[in-house]
Chain A
């Protein structure tokens, strides 16, 4: 079975500063994807960044980057130059693909950017 753990229920960061959200996962599969999604009060799940497990290079997307440690099963998200619009719930997600695409989610980290 796959599990995803986010150990930080709440975090805060000053505007323009950098913050790192932690995520660990457990799986015995070799082919999978990892995602970070942002869910603002509108409740829409917005893709922040994606990492293919077969790629060693860490994914980056503008101010967002990940530190993917496959052996340690760790997948943290770094947000640089934090903006007020980054305030949201952030979910780490594992998508297995071997027998169908299915997501497993962490419990989320509520991030508040302080002006």
Chain B
């Protein structure tokens, strides 16, 4: 089966702009969670969506938002970009219940200049 697809793979944006990242999960997986990875802070949880509902949210400012569509694809949006938002953004696709599995996409590398 197809893996987790994140688009775009690379982005360069200017401070103050906004950006939208996309994550298409594995077929049948209804949970999508997002993580920010930076050298200084490691991997930090942004939010998790299940059946179009945000179940959990990490400790990030309101500039970071997301949504999930009926086909489980998820988008995250960052508005008013800051230099510190430069990071690798990873999404995880996972299932629920016994034998739950979780896979990550290849990530989107965002550079803010």
A interface, CB within 8 angstroms of B: 33, 35, 37, 42-47, 50, 52, 54, 91, 95, 97, 99-105, 107-108
Contacts of A37 in B (CB 8 A): 104
Residue from A44, A91, A97 within 8 A of B43 (CB atoms): A91
Q: Which 8 A-B pairs have the closest CB atoms?
A: A100-B55, A45-B104, A105-B43, A101-B31, A101-B94, A100-B56, A44-B106, A100-B48
Across the A-B interface, how many residue pairs have beta carbons closer than 8 Å? 65
**Quick one: given A43-B88, A43-B109, A108-B42, are A101 and B33 in contact (CB under 8 Å)?**
yes
Residue from B42, B88, B96 within 8 A of A97 (CB atoms): B96
B64 an interface residue at 8 Å Cβ cutoff? no
Q: Could you tell me the dominant secondary structure of chain A's interface residues?
A: strand
Distance in angstroms between the alpha carbons of A107 and B31 in the assembled complex: 24
State how many angstroms separate the Cβ of B28 from the closest Cβ of chain A: 14
Q: A91 — nearest CB in chain B belongs to which residue?
A: B43
A-B contact pairs, 14 of them (CB 8 A): A33-B100, A37-B104, A43-B37, A43-B88, A44-B104, A44-B105, A44-B106, A47-B104, A52-B100, A100-B50, A101-B33, A101-B50, A101-B96, A102-B45
CB of B45 within 8 A of CB of A107, answer no
**Quick one: given A107-B42, A108-B42, are A33 and B88 in contact (CB under 8 Å)?**
no
State how many angstroms separate the Cβ of B27 from the closest Cβ of chain A: 17
Chain B contact-residue range equals 20 to 34
Contacts of B37 in A (CB 8 A): 43
CB of A52 within 8 A of CB of B99, answer yes
Q: B107 — nearest CB in chain A belongs to which residue?
A: A43
Contacts of A46 in B (CB 8 A): 104
Q: B92 — nearest CB in chain A belongs to which residue?
A: A103
Contacts of A43 in B (CB 8 A): 37, 88, 106-107, 109
Q: Knowing that A101-B31, A101-B94, A103-B35 are A-B contacts, what are 19 other residue pairs whose CB atoms are under 8 Å apart, sorted by A's residue number? A: A37-B104, A43-B107, A44-B104, A44-B107, A45-B104, A45-B107, A52-B99, A91-B43, A95-B102, A97-B96, A97-B100, A100-B31, A100-B48, A101-B33, A101-B50, A101-B96, A102-B33, A102-B45, A107-B42
